Every structure is written in structure tokens, then in C-alpha cells.
């Protein structure tokens, strides 16, 4: 297996609060690596550090063998890290389709440089075709012309996923993708994420609280507790780990 990401000895504090303490973390190509842990364990912070949204205080992060520790989030996106769009990043007044067009054009600008943004007024046919394909694959047909801000929670999540895929990432990071969903929407989300992972040959990194989602998707499971990793490995082995059951899984 090829190691895509290798983070070593990461420390992260917010003021006096130590959130990550000596965390080392690997991501292998093709795996679906799920990070779980109690509320406040540091999962979102770990995500933000790996994606470059926030800087670690010490440690190193390598991506495909290159040191990206000092690089900003957008520079890591250019190197293949796709972080699911936060709901706030969707342009609420624009339609789902227009949001997708923007995401695809953003990728093209990243690929070709700033000059790609000049020279066309209407979206080109290829961009429209790609947006239509994503709409179809993600089941967004019924929502196309509605302002994104008026979409249901489940459809917003689908749109976020479509916008993340538009960036053609090698690694897709999803922070609690099923948060706030009904049980049936959850099962649908698991099916969709598995489907997208297989179709795009993606490496997945996600956090999740729902155990059906966790065990439905994970090929590797890592458990964070008070900002430290207490177990990592095959899901069924981690599930049986006494310490993990004590601090987290025993309550589920």
C-alpha cells in the first residue's frame, strides 16, 4: 500500500488548552479511515490540522512524500486533499447547479492557473456536462433550480459531497457527514459514500459518531481520547479493545 499522508508528533493547543498531544497519523491509499472518539476528543481539530485549515504548533505532515506542514489549506487542495465544503461555504442564494459550476471552475483555475478565469462568459459545455453528471450521480435532480439555502439538510449534504468531488481530490475528508440526518437518510448516505468511493477510487478520511455508519464504511478505525490516539487498526479489532470499550464504545 502507498502511504498518502504521514503526520508525526503533532501538537496543537488553543491558548492554554492542549487539544492534540503527540499525535501521529497515517493514511494509506484506498482506505476508508474513520476517526472516532468522545465529544471534545479533538477529532475536528485533527481534521483541520491535516487539511491545513489550522496550523499545528509542532510536528510534521507529509503528503505524498512532500512536507506540507507549512502549507495553507488551498495549497493542500492543489495537492489532492479535498475537504467537504462546510454548509457556510455553499453560496446560499445560488442554485445547486450554479454552486457546482463554481466548484468545477475553481478546480480548473487551480489546475490551469489564474488565466483560466478569463475569456469565457457563459459556462462552457464541458463544465455544464460535468455538473450534470455530478447531479445525476449524487441524486440532486429534483433540486437543481432551487436556491441552495432552501434545500433540505440531506440535500445540502449531497450538494457538499458533489462540490467536494468536483475538486477531484485523491483524499476526501468528511467531518461527520451524517450529522443531523434521520436513520433512513443515514443509510442512504453510507450507500452514496461507498458508491462514490468505489467509482472515484478515493481514499476517505472521516469522523463520525453513528456506529452503523462507522462500521458500514471503515476499513481502518482510529480512536482519539483527550487529544491522544488510544487505538488504531482493523475495525473489528479496535471494537474489541478493552480501553476503547471503556472510554467510548461501551456507551454505544
Ligand X SMILES: Nc1ncnc2c1ncn2[C@@H]1O[C@H](COP(=O)(O)OP(=O)(O)OP(=O)(O)O)[C@@H](O)[C@H]1O
Interacting residues toward ligand X by CB under 6 A: 14, 17, 19, 37, 39-45
Residues 6+ apart with CB under 8 A from 62: 5, 6, 7, 8, 68
Could you tell me if 105 and 117 are in contact, meaning their C-beta atoms sit under 8 angstroms apart? Answer: yes
Q: What is the DSSP string of 106-133?
A: HHHHHHH-GGGGSS-SSPPHHHHHHHHH
> CA–CA separation, 112 vs 241, rounded Å?
48
- What cell numbers appear for 112 in the block? 490551469
SS3 content of the chain, % helix, strand, coil (to 5): 45, 25, 30
Nearest CB to ligand X, comparing residues 40 and 233? 40
Least distance from ligand X to the Cβ atom of residue 123, Å: 36
Least distance from ligand X to the Cβ atom of residue 181, Å: 15
Least distance from ligand X to the Cβ atom of residue 110, Å: 27
Nearest CB to ligand X, comparing residues 39 and 184? 39
Nearest CB to ligand X, comparing residues 38 and 235? 38
Q: Which one-letter DSSP state was computed for residue 95?
A: B
Least distance from ligand X to the Cβ atom of residue 50, Å: 12
Nearest CB to ligand X, comparing residues 24 and 117? 24
> CA–CA separation, 148 vs 46, rounded Å?
29
Nearest CB to ligand X, comparing residues 16 and 184? 16
Least distance from ligand X to the Cβ atom of residue 60, Å: 20
Amino acid at each position: 500500500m502507498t502511504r498518502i499522508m504521514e503526520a508525526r508528533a503533532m501538537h496543537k493547543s488553543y491558548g492554554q488548552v492542549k487539544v492534540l498531544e503527540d499525535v501521529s497519523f497515517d493514511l494509506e491509499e484506498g482506505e476508508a479511515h474513520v476517526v472516532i472518539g468522545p465529544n471534545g476528543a479533538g477529532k475536528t481539530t485533527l481534521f483541520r490540522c491535516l487539511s491545513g485549515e489550522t496550523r499545528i504548533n509542532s510536528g510534521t505532515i507529509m503528503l505524498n512524500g512532500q512536507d506540507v506542514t507549512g502549507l495553507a489549506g488551498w495549497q493542500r487542495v492543489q495537492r489532492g486533499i479535498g475537504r467537504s465544503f462546510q454548509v457556510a461555504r455553499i453560496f446560499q442564494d445560488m442554485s445547486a447547479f450554479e454552486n457546482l459550476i463554481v466548484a468545477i471552475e475553481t478546480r480548473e483555475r487551480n489546475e490551469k492557473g489564474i488565466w483560466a478565469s478569463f475569456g469565457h462568459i457563459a459556462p462552457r459545455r464541458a463544465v455544464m456536462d460535468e455538473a450534470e453528471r455530478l447531479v445525476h450521480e449524487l441524486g440532486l435532480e429534483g433540486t437543481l433550480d432551487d436556491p441552495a439555502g432552501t434545500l433540505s439538510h440531506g440535500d445540502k449534504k449531497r450538494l457538499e459531497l458533489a462540490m467536494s468531488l468536483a475538486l477531484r481530490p485523491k483524499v476526501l475528508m468528511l467531518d461527520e457527514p451524517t450529522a443531523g440526518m434521520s436513520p433512513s437518510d443515514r443509510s442512504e448516505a453510507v450507500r452514496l459514500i461507498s458508491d462514490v468511493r468505489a467509482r472515484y477510487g478515493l481514499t476517505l478520511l472521516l469522523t463520525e459518531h453513528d456506529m452503523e455508519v462507522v462500521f458500514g464504511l471503515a476499513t481502518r478505525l482510529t480512536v482519539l481520547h483527550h487529544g491522544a490516539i488510544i487505538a488504531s487498526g482493523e475495525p473489528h479489532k479496535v471494537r474489541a479493545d478493552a480501553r476503547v470499550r471503556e472510554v467510548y464504545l461501551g456507551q454505544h
